[in-house]
Copies of this chain bind each other. A is one copy, B any other.
């Protein structure tokens, strides 16, 4: 694989697709997929092969057009582009159901992410341990962020405390926020914020179902 010689702004959709490629490749049984063509990868994801080749072109192409890619090379290259080759420490604020689900999400390990802190305001949760990490009072966020060199904070609080939680994370020195609360959070430039909305996946599913299922009444417009 060639090096990326110039730093150009890569479209956000390309990055999202690179993440999809890596996700798809890492799910393939290695013994059957030592090599893969852009056509095969495209079919698995439901994209055109040209889209994949254009995306790879931003990063030197991963090899010549028409050739098959070595899957291990492709995975390593994508991991490096996406920054997953560098270990990152993360914390989760809000240890309700979703916070606990994410704390138990084994795939974070594969992404080079290490959970080093869990925080909540609920005294009934403070002190319990999930995957060897003790839940602490939210007041301790600044101390842990500094001591553990935490770059990423996950917000799984209720909507009405999401922004104040984001502010606390940013003041503590966190550079990237992954927000799962239903309310968007914002921050100053230089802070990366990913607002995740689970309902968007459900809405697109709902749309597709609507196209397929018969309307409920004759007067339905669609």
Contact = CB atoms under 8 A, between A and B. Distances in A.
A101 B107 contact: no
Interface of A: 3-4, 12, 15-16, 18-20, 22-24, 27, 44, 80-84, 86, 88, 96-98, 100-105, 107-108, 110-113, 151-152, 175-176, 178, 182-184, 190, 192, 194, 196-210, 212-213, 216, 221-222
Nearest to A1: B221
Nearest to A16: B204
Nearest to A210: B83
Given A27-B184, A80-B222, A176-B206, 15 more contacts: A15-B203, A15-B207, A16-B204, A19-B200, A19-B204, A82-B203, A82-B206, A82-B210, A88-B206, A97-B104, A102-B198, A108-B202, A178-B201, A178-B202, A192-B205
17 contacts: A18-B203, A18-B207, A19-B199, A20-B197, A23-B200, A27-B182, A27-B183, A27-B184, A82-B210, A97-B97, A100-B101, A101-B101, A113-B202, A178-B201, A192-B212, A196-B198, A196-B201
A116 B184 CA distance: 29
Contacts of A192: 205, 208-209, 212
Copies in the complex: 2
Contacts of A202: 108, 111, 113, 178, 194
A44 B81 CA distance: 28
A53 to B, nearest CB: 19
A194 B184 contact: no
Contacts of A81: 207, 222
